[in-house]
Amino acid sequence: MALFSFFAGWIGYLFICLLGLIFIAFLCFCLYIKYIHLKYDHIPGPPRDSFIFGHLPTIQREMSNDRVVHDKFLEWAETYGPVYRINGLHAVMLCVTCPDTTKEVLMSPKYPKSKYSVVLLLHRFFGNGLVTAQNHDEWYKQRRIMDPAFSSLYLRGQMGAFNERAEKLMDKLADMADTNTAANMQHMFNCVTLDVITKVTVTSCYPQIPTLPLQFILSVIKLHLFVNNDTKYKFINEVKKSCQLLRSTGRQWINERKMAVQNGEDVPKDILTQILKTENIANDDEELMLDNFVTFFIAGQETTANQLAFAVMELGRLPEILTKVRQEVDDVLGMKQEINFDDLGKMTYLSQVLKETLRLYPTAPGTSRFIPNDIVINGIPIPAGVTCVFNSYICGRLDKFFEDPLKFDPERFHPDAAKPYYCYYPFALGPRSCLGQSFAQMEAKVVMAKLLQRFDFSLLPGQSFDILDTGSLRPKSGVVCNIRHRGQTPAA
């Protein structure tokens, strides 16, 4: 009994000590938060929801209520100006819409990607590939290796793949027109962009690709990238399995291609071959190869599909713009099926439509940079150690940059129109801009031109035209359309 009392006393004493240590740690954390507040509170910003959590409760409410959190950021930008502060625990982010600072920071390699966005949000999917690499030298090595796969010469050679896969989509839409079946254009565009990215990434493996399982993988991963809804927590194991399956598939294809190279077989000059060239620099780092494989599959697929879906949504609501862009497609292409590289440059109004789509609906809304040294933004001194967020969604909807910003107007991007600088960057800016932006816009042009050439479409009444924010932005209802062959009489 005495022994029991002795141990009980010691346990009670240790428990009290533990509580004391926890209290001291919490107090130190609170003091550090207070220090951060004192350091950055001279910067304008909305009132914090709480001392500890800062603005996180407001952001969480926006996300959990299926609202576009960027609309809240836009509201704050209109209220607090071109640079404002967002607090969360001990971290501070600055939302910047000042063109001069956007140019200074994004165009320079001395401002690395923010470790918070990289580690917390993207690294679990993309590893240390081109999108997430923080060290500039490491990123530059990868970028130098991958550049040839996205050169103008290489992309010209991919026009056959773009046409082939777009024709497959046209065949599906023709069947739906024949059977008077409504088409979910978001889904249709997801299928064709996955088809294209697979074809040009792993040419030799293309016939064996299980399209539907990969489509599920990509949709599940993207669904959970940012959405913080409790009802979706039960799918977390599916997300993990999806990531594992995508990486295991990539590992299999990489090993098969490496074996073919070692055996002296002819291999296609596709993106997978370019990824394998990292072996010469990264000491056969298979994980790095996989990181870039996953990067191109995820980053290169859904964003283009979303852009196409938003474009169809706006064209369906604006018949005068639809008529004008269709006339241009008819003038350039006539009845021919095969679109060549030179045709793309002639469809200037279609380019304007796609650019205006990305102004209103940038499918990847922003990027962030870490500020290692003191700087001045819009006359406000900014101490080092803060993350600056540059949001194309906000800039595209501010009336100081674009007149009547919520109006869909492709004339903003007419070659002779005056354009604000460093306010439109759907693919980011500077050395860390999207490597695949030319690829994406060529693909989008081919698919959209064929759609306009072959079909009439009308939006199904009653659907929502709201935006769903899942990390990338997509149409909430999927843009459901009635599809008809050109000249076909609408069904009664």
Rounded Cα gap, residues 76 and 44, in angstroms? 10
Using alpha carbons, select from 383, 387, 363, 359 the residue that is nearest to residue 96. Answer: 387
Return binding residues.
434
**In terms of C-beta density within 10 A (0-12 exposed, 13-18 middle, 19 or more buried), how is residue 28 classed?**
exposed
Helix then strand then coil, % of the chain, to nearest 5: 60, 10, 30
Cα–Cα distances in angstroms (integers) from residue 445 to residues 211, 283, 433, in the given order: 23, 39, 20
Tokens (6 digits) for 37: 């507040």
Using alpha carbons, select from 251, 228, 348, 361 the residue that is nearest to residue 303. Answer: 361
Give me the phi and psi of 92, to 5 degrees please.
Answer: -130, 135
State the virtual CA torsion across 459, 403, 423, 346 in degrees, nearest 10.
60
Bin 385: left if φ > 0, else alpha if -120 < ψ < 50, else beta: left
Give me the phi and psi of 419, to 5 degrees please.
Answer: -130, 135
Rounded Cα gap, residues 308 and 344, in angstroms? 16
Return binding residues for heme.
434
**In terms of C-beta density within 10 A (0-12 exposed, 13-18 middle, 19 or more buried), how is residue 478 classed?**
buried
Long-range CB contact pairs, 415-424, < 8 A, 24+ = 415/348, 420/99, 421/99, 421/103, 422/99, 422/100, 422/102, 422/103, 422/106, 423/97, 423/99, 423/102, 423/395, 423/396, 423/398, 424/355, 424/358, 424/359, 424/392, 424/395, 424/396
Q: Which amino acid is at 444?
A: A
Strands (E), 383-475: 386-391, 455-459, 467-469, 473-475
Rounded Cα gap, residues 386 and 266, in angstroms? 50
